[in-house]
Chain A
């Protein structure tokens, strides 16, 4: 049996929690565990997962980006405006535009955090409000509606790529998962990406080791902005109706997903696969709560918060157990223990 890395253990613990949550709600809600549940969750996770992935990159560097929700909203509107003005635009071009606009906002955040030295929580708190107001200004308080969009775009999120026993794998979900995996591989294999972990776990040491910490932080913000931009395009395609409230609250949801997914809020530790599972978990809890008759509308937010806390605790507990198990196994495997050696 091969040794499990701490990262793999973390994912295992998360999947266990996911199963526990699903099992719990299955006892509470009729007609719960079915293909439809998967279709619901996967469709909305497609958007959140992209944002959570971006958020993870930023959190890895020991920063935070509160402006991502506003970026999603702005890009959703902007790409909507582009595509209604030029309905013939090539899909790839539109996606590039979404990435570029998002990256632009990320660049702004990154410059302020990395080079002007303003703490990220302050920078992006301000940016959240400024980008949202920019959207109000840019949109002239008008909204985009489905009628303005070309059919291919509206059809994209729900196009079924393949179906397994009623479980539909839809284009947006598959695209998002592919992107998350690509980012995961990049984080694992690209040398500059490893610097994210170094900078996040010990910024001082990274600087001493000769890493350009500022450029690394800047890159994380730009990438997060670009991913949020892409999420904005997905948002446009899925909901069609874009008002100035679009994407409101996604910044917090993405942080919740990342943290649930085992990304350390202190930076330097975590994976985007974890964030993806975290996003699924948040969405599963949210979706199930709406259907749980025991909880009234007014308590739902509180229960959501409570469940997130419980899931994090359960995860931490499981993690500790699993780590201990692993250590025991490692101890047991090589050479006799000191006790035997000295007796």
Chain B
């Protein structure tokens, strides 16, 4: 085979006492899509940061075209044709699409020629096959469009290695498919694509070779034809996991916990109606922009609805603030851990008791630290939270563990209805199965769950019934027995509408 365009040779990286990577070796060849899989905390992020010049290896070498190099910073990596796009796209909201693409181009002169910029941008956008207006201001773009902008930006500089870090985690199935198509196209043009994803079906769709890493070490690199899902998962977690796709029987009882009729919020969504029974998991599916999260935010009192009715245990209620929602017995586990979920610099135990501070305070308002530690320890065991100790800042934990801390915080409020927004986004297969088990346990014990998810296998695995939304409108509710990925997608893309 030819010389690899980019290679890591026996690369190790440590941060203080933590060994993030040890003896990592990876070769990337032009024209291949190379999937890298591993649990959260396996060292994927560190590896990307070394490939993009953000970190320098503690030992070992990075080679470009067979020559050892030092990539001084992201700019150095870019000039060598190495670019990365991330789960959260990095676009500049005040600039238009064309400007975003060429923001760091150095060969376009001092004065910006709008026409030239637009023309060049159009060419790049055409190359990745997206219909995007170069004059649009980036603040109005969808996540998928923002990612397209990032890819175009990478292409504007003769990209040779494109690293895609969980690019589809926030995308709907349709958009993710588009993105994979773009990645395949680039590989066909000779770009080496590194593709990192937790969605196994994606990897089988796109990758030529798969590298599994675990605990900062290289486990295996194989052509995709030699890989099976079970084998890959086993290598990733180093243990057998229960079937991710299993769906146990429904625990739904006849008792209606929450009943919503004609719920709407001006200019956001309208006409949302459903019941949730005790013991039931109701999933909400839809593409990005379906406004599912907005419905959840209304139920939890963050952005109260402007129309429709809500009945809680048979009583009509108005929920005007999260405080009122919590008093009723609702809990909301947010999609955006950083913004709405966790106080990142605070310790794990402070986060766990954040919503229920009253329980760990003495009569005089002083904190009972021992009680707080005991509560945290309980959840650590129950939810299998991997942490050094309860005083570690939450920001230092991996995504899956952060998610569990957030869940612990809400379980501590002893809710009757848990609203989960993308409960397993960006967390690894092992943790995903654990979160699913926790949700099932919760409803089996008499609770109810409303789960918003863009991950169709997850929706099918969890939901007793599946509510599908599209652009702020309820398209239908599908019972689990009738549900399939295709049926849900037809509703979500507006190809048909079920009787409500």
Contacts and interface: CB of A to CB of B under 8 A. Distances in A.
Is there any pair of Cβ atoms, one from A and one from B, under 8 angstroms apart in the complex? yes
A190 B92 CA distance: 17
Which among B92, B99, B112 has the highest number of chain A CB atoms within 10 Å? Answer: B92
Interface in B30-67: 52
A338 B75 CA distance: 45
B112 A191 contact: yes
Interface of A is mostly: helix
Contacts of A195: 103
Interface of B is mostly: loop
Nearest to A205: B90
Contact of A197 (B95, B153, B267): B95
A211 interface: yes
B2 interface: no
B110 A191 contact: yes
A194 B103 contact: yes
A1 B339 CA distance: 39
Interface in A192-242: 192, 194-195, 197-198, 201-202, 204-212
Contacts of A27: none
Given A190-B110, A194-B103, A204 B90 contact: yes
B13 interface: no
A210 B74 contact: yes
Given A210-B75, A338-B470, A202 B90 contact: yes
B473 A190 contact: no
A204 B92 CA distance: 11
A342 interface: yes
B239 to A, nearest CB: 36
Contacts of B78: 210
Given A191-B110, A194-B112, A324-B267, A269 B153 contact: no
Contacts of A211: 103-104
A115 to B, nearest CB: 15
B91 interface: yes
B94 interface: yes
A341 interface: yes
Interface in B466-481: 470-471, 473
Contacts of A210: 74-75, 78-79, 104, 157
B327 to A, nearest CB: 31
A194 B110 CA distance: 11
A202 B112 contact: no
B166 to A, nearest CB: 15
B114 to A, nearest CB: 8
Contacts of A198: 92, 95, 103
Contacts of A202: 90-93
Contacts of A207: 73-74
A303 B110 CA distance: 45
Contact of B473 (A194, A269, A338): A338
Given A189-B111, A197-B92, A269-B94, A209 B497 contact: no
A80 interface: no
A139 B22 CA distance: 63
Nearest to A199: B92
Residue among B84, B93, B137 with the highest chain A CB neighbour number at 10 A: B93
Contacts of B378: none
A201 B110 contact: no
Interface string B89-125: 0111111000100011100111110000000000000
Contacts of A206: 92, 103
A13 to B, nearest CB: 17
Contact of B104 (A209, A268, A324): A209
B308 interface: no
A194 B90 contact: no
B495 to A, nearest CB: 10
A190 B111 contact: yes
Contacts of B157: 210
A342 B474 CA distance: 12
B323 to A, nearest CB: 25
A192 B104 CA distance: 9
Given A202-B92, A204-B90, A338 B109 contact: no
B93 A194 contact: no
A5 B112 CA distance: 18
B74 to A, nearest CB: 5
Interface of B: 52, 73-75, 78-79, 84, 90-95, 99, 103-105, 108-112, 137, 139, 153, 157, 267, 470-471, 473, 494, 497
20 contacts: A5-B137, A190-B111, A191-B108, A191-B110, A192-B110, A197-B95, A201-B92, A201-B95, A202-B93, A204-B90, A205-B90, A205-B92, A207-B73, A210-B74, A210-B79, A211-B103, A269-B93, A338-B470, A341-B494, A342-B497
Interface of A: 5-6, 188-192, 194-195, 197-198, 201-202, 204-212, 268-269, 324, 327, 338-339, 341-342
